Structures are given as C-alpha cells and as structure tokens.
Structure 1
Amino acid sequence: MRISELAQESGTPVATIKYYIREGLLPAGTPVNARQSDYGTQHLERLRLIRGLMNVLGASIEQVRDVIGVIDQPDQEPWEAMKFATEAIPAPHQHEKPGISRARVVLERLGLPCSPEHPAVRHLDSALAFAEEIGMAMSAEQLAVYVEAARRTARADVEHIPWQSREDSVRQAVLGTVVYEPVLLALRRIAHRELGMAHYEHHDGEHELAPSSPPEG
C-alpha cells in the first residue's frame, strides 16, 4: 500500500508517519520509484503499537523507542527483554523521593527481590511514602494481599509466552509487560464498583425490610 493508504488505514496522518520513520520508530517502506514507497501489514501493526503506547499508556517518543528497540532484538533472552520493558514503560507520577526506603522493608518482609535502582522499586517507595503522608498507610495484611495478587498476575502473563519461538517470546514478553498493565488497573476499578453496588443494594434491602415506625404496644 502507498503511504496515503497506510495513513487512512491506520488513522495516522502522513506527516506523523514520516516523523515516526525519521525517529526510527517505523521502518521505511520498500522503494517503488524515486518518489514512492510501498508499505505492508507490518507497518500497520507497528503504527497501531506506537499509537497504543502513546495514547493508552502516555508513553513519550523516547519510551516508545526503548520498547520497540527491545522488540526488534529477538536474539536476546525473553526474561532479559521483560526486565528492559519494565524499565522502559511509563511510570505513574512520582511523589518526591522519600527519605527512608519503605519499599525495601516491605519487599524483604514479603520475600520479593529488591533492587533499589529498579524503577518499579523507586515507584513503590514513592507510593508508600505518599500513602503514609496522607494518613492512608497500608497495613502488612493489605500489602500481603497485593503481593499475592501481583504474583498470580505475573504467573498468568508468563504462562502465555510462546517459549518455542525466540522472536515471538521476546515480543510477547515485552508487550505483555507493557500492554496488560492498564487492563489490571481497569479491572481493579471495576471490581471496586461491583463491591460498592453490592454494598448499597444490601443496605437498601435492609431499609426496605425495616419498619417505618415503631410498632404500637
């Protein structure tokens, strides 16, 4: 397909496509003549990936480049690719760096590996500090539940990696790490809503059963 067709199919302006090519996010098309190039389904898939990373996850051009750079090196180990992906994906807005390492204490107590330099550990540190400062510190019991849920989620992700193919396993390891995280967040919020609805339905039923005035004696 021509670049105009690629733009129409992907919903991405031609100027943006050319920008992605200049930035190394999208491979150039196959030259047809001096003025035209041909683009295939791999370009369409890459554009959808770029737009998803930027629009859904809020990734910057630099972060998209990091993620794509990992995907485009299929000769590396999937576990190593997953590690790079967790460091490349956008992180939540961080609170100011806390003075003490709450994350290290929590992770060591619950048996999770703790590398102070890993971005996720720093994010956890900031999140725990912020929760404590506003009077919503998490209890050990609540943190244990979160850790178990995280482990089960991570195991589910790993079980879907096609280990038979190095190229496919790297791609799945990277994109599974990046793309599924918003799904987890959305499902948690939906579960909160479900519990809230059940709570109010339960209490509404109690009110309906309660007498409107004390019985006369």
Structure 2
Amino acid sequence: MQEEYIKWYSPNLNMDIDMLTFGHAGHPLLLFPTSQGRYYENKDFKLIDSIHYFINSGKVKVYCPDGIDSLSFYNKGVHPAERIKNHSWYDKMLLEEVVSRAQHDTGHHKVITAGCSFGGYHAANFAFRYPWLVSHMFSLSGAFDIRGQLDGFYNEEVYYHNPVDYLPGDHNPDLWKMKIVLGTSDRDICRGYNEQLSEILNKKGISHWLDIRPNADHDWPIWREMLPDYLSKL
C-alpha cells in the first residue's frame, strides 16, 4: 500500500500540520481521527488495513489530516468563544488546504468524508457545510451536537458548526444528492445522536442509511467492519 507522510505550514492555523495519505488514485476520502486523536490514529488502530482492498485497487485515496480538538473543543483552558474560533480555522484549513490538495491529486472535484466517534462529527459537519464538495458521508458512531463541549456558551459561530441546529433550515439542493450513512450499534454511547440526526434527515426527505448494528460497542472492532462495508456500496 502506498503511504506518504506530508507536513506543511498552515496559514489558516498559523502552525504546522501533519497528514498521512494512503493509495495512488481514486476517489479522495478524508478520514478524521477520534477525539483528540492524531493523524496516525486510523493507521495504528488498523482502520486503514480494513480498507486496503479499496486503496490498493485505486478505488479511493485516503487523506488522514491531523486533528486539533485539543486546541478547540477539548481545550478547557480557554474561553468557549476561542474554542469554537479555533475550530473554525481548522474547518477553513480543511477546505482550502486539504480538499484542494485532494482535488489536485486525484482529479475528483468531490470528496468522501468519514470518521469514527468525534471524527464522525467532523465528517458530518464538513459534509453538511459544504455539500457541493462531498459525494458521500460515512459517520461511524458519531456525535453531532457540540454544545456540551462549550460550557453553555452559544453564538452564531456555534450555530453554524452544530449540524443539529443548522441542518433543519438548510435547503442547499446538494444535500439531497449526497450519499449518507449513519453507522451506530445497539450498545453505542452515541446511538441517540445518530437517531436524532436520522430524524432530522427524514423530516427533510433526505435519503440516508441509519445502520444500527447488533452486539457491538463504541469501539474500533465494529468500525473496522463498518467502513469497508460502506465503501463497497460506492
């Protein structure tokens, strides 16, 4: 499997960013780490190995950008206004630096977003904010309401990064073109978030798959089963 380590200075974040890519061609897949996870987490926990067929056959090229949750949502040492501002800069970095690179590398205009746990939030939030750039969104045990990370603070910036708030009133036609999977399980601590988001999508008439798997916990073994299954349905 072709693997490349990339490091660059991000003008949006005013810091260096690390990223791993896997594969040589195919549809670009942005794969986010879990809460405060690093760019190598999905490799270390064998999620990349679980989709090696799709990578080696040139069906997808995977981009694993570093996360900055420790500077944003989990940064309890700063005011919540600064936490959400830092996340907004991260979102801008993804849009202007990661997606643009993936488009140039692969020749595809649209990307796939995916992630496990809090990575599922990142996958969903980016997809729903920029639906004209995302063909498929695969959330694996995601949580989609970030208000609990902000100690009761709320402003317009929080609203536009909280899918359960902004999605009901969003009428961008590209939302109805996106292929959406909400993966969860019977013992998943985030199952309720997925059922809530599924209800929002149902009310809007947006087709999606709420995949509730039996006898599984909020952990890597079920995620290693889910992601190759979802990719096989591209």
Measured against the shorter chain, the TM-score band is under 0.3
* TM-score for the superposition, normalised by structure 2: 0.26
For normalisation by structure 1, the TM-score amounts to 0.28
Which structure has more helix as a fraction of its residues?
1
